Amino acid sequence: MLAGSALAAPHAALARSTNSVEARLDRLEAELSALRADLAKSRAETDAAVQRANAAEARASLSESQSAGAIQRVAALESKPAPAPAAPPPPADGFRSGNTTIKLGGYIKLIGSSTHYSDGEVATNSTGRDFYLPQTIPTGGQPSAHDTDFTAKQSRFWLNLDSTVAGHALKGYLEFDFQTSPGTQGSQRTTNGYNPALRRAFMQVDRWTFGQDWSTFQYTGALPESTDYVGGAEGTVFVRQPLIRYSAPMGGGTTLHLAVENPESGTASFGAPALNENGDDRLPDFVARLAYAGKMGELSLGALARQVRVENSGVAASAGGFGVSLGGKLFLNDEKTGDARFMVTYGRNIGRYVGLNFAPDAVFVPGTNKLESASVLAMIGAVRLPLMPGVRVNLMGSYQTVDYADALTAASLATFNKHAWSAAANLFYTPVKNVDLGLEYRHGERKLVGGAEGSTDRIDVVAKYSF
């Protein structure tokens, strides 16, 4: 037993020693692994520190470079002029109410005139004092007169309506001023208040026009730029009246206008030139006009057919009337700021259409209960010449002559108008947009059938603001 125990003891000691060595090896391996992990961590931290240092250096260098670039850019910007402020958006053209576009416009006009009459004086507050009207030129052989007037009654306002309904173009237009009202007028001594006067009021449905407008017989493009209300009244067709008109485009810039218009007979009586508005008409006036508009200018050819009718003590007298009118405009430059314009009109018994009724439509003879004819030939021409931006000159001339029926004796016609003419020149200056300043000189003459005559000289100054 002792021998067995002695033999077993070394083996047990050897086993214990082997186990101790293995445990120590395990601890060494664990410590070595931990050491390796610490070393790797230290190396990673060192690398990160180096990277951070490099990045900081790079950022510093970049910041320095950027600062230099920024300084250069600031210096460049400071050396440049300040940019102009942005332009405001364009104002709206009119305003909307439902489906309708509404536009307001017109102008404020002040005119001052100094007028010399060779053979008498024109009554104060009368139309002839406000603007050139040849039939008001005194011819009575009275002492000459000189008058000065200021007025703003030619100021004008208009309202324009535009809409589309069920595919149809609908338009409306209303225009008035204070010049032609037949009502109570203001006193120049105190308030200078004047009544509004209807000029135009019409509606358009596609190609149809219903209402009051310029007569279809009139080519408005012939009216010259003038300080005067008309500008050469004796030579131009000049009528506004109720009408029904159809306008048909023909192609190539040509339009055909056909209309029936309000009839009214302005007749004189045998031996008495004063005009009578009879109101006895039964047929409308029939008018046609062919209008062309192109790059070089415009052309208009109008024709008129009508009946003049008077009733006297239950007995009616009537006479036919006709007229033709040719007008046009030729542009003198590409900008269309300069042009030459004209109108020539001839007709029988159409006096109220030409020269604001300078001649009667016809002459009623009570003894025979007949209307004797009066024929007119009228013409007007004008040239508009731009001198420089905002400055232009207008030159114009106007003429009308009247022939009466042979059945009328010279004695009965002695105080009737025979002819009139005028010439004018003006200078307009536009200092700012929509503002016009003008100066005009006009000379006009009137002669009666009996030989009496008179003349007028007028200087106008005008200031007008259009909006």
User: Contact, 374 vs 347, CB < 8 A?
Assistant: no
- How many other C-beta atoms lie within 10 A of the C-beta of residue 346? 16
Q: Is 281 inside any structural domain?
A: yes
pLDDT tens digits, 146-190: 999 999 999 999 999 999 999 999 999 999 999 987 656 667 888
Residue 240 has pLDDT above 60, yes or no: yes
pTM greater than 0.85: no
Q: Is 2 inside any structural domain?
A: no
Residue 304: both structure tokens together: 């008129």
Q: What is the mean pLDDT of residues 423-428?
A: 99
- What CATH number corresponds to the domain at position 207? 2.40.160.10
User: Contact, 268 vs 364, CB < 8 A?
Assistant: yes
pLDDT number for residue 9: 41
Q: Is 183 inside any structural domain?
A: yes
Beta-carbon contacts of 239 under 8 Å, excluding residues fewer than 6 positions away, are 214, 215, 217, 218, 352, 353
pLDDT number for residue 27: 74
Beta-carbon contacts of 54 under 8 Å, excluding residues fewer than 6 positions away, are none
Q: Is 424 inside any structural domain?
A: yes
pLDDT number for residue 8: 41
Q: Is 342 inside any structural domain?
A: yes
Q: Which three-class secondary structure string do you get for 160-217? A: EEEEEECCEEEEEEEEEECCCCCCCCCCCCCCCCCCCEEEEEEEEECCEEEEEEECCC
pLDDT tens digits, 404-416: 999 999 999 999 9
pLDDT tens digits, 334-364: 999 999 999 999 999 999 999 999 999 999 9
Closest CA to 336 of 260, 281, 287, 392: 392
pLDDT number for residue 318: 96
Q: Is 425 inside any structural domain?
A: yes
Q: Is 37 inside any structural domain?
A: no
Residue 462 has pLDDT above 90, yes or no: yes
Q: Is 225 inside any structural domain?
A: yes
Range of the domain at 107: 95-466
Backbone phi and psi for residue 11, each to the nearest 5 degrees, phi listed first: -60, -40
DSSP codes, 2-24: HHHHHHHHHHHHHHHHHHHHHHH
Strand partners, 429: 391, 437
Task: State the total domains in the chain.
Answer: 1
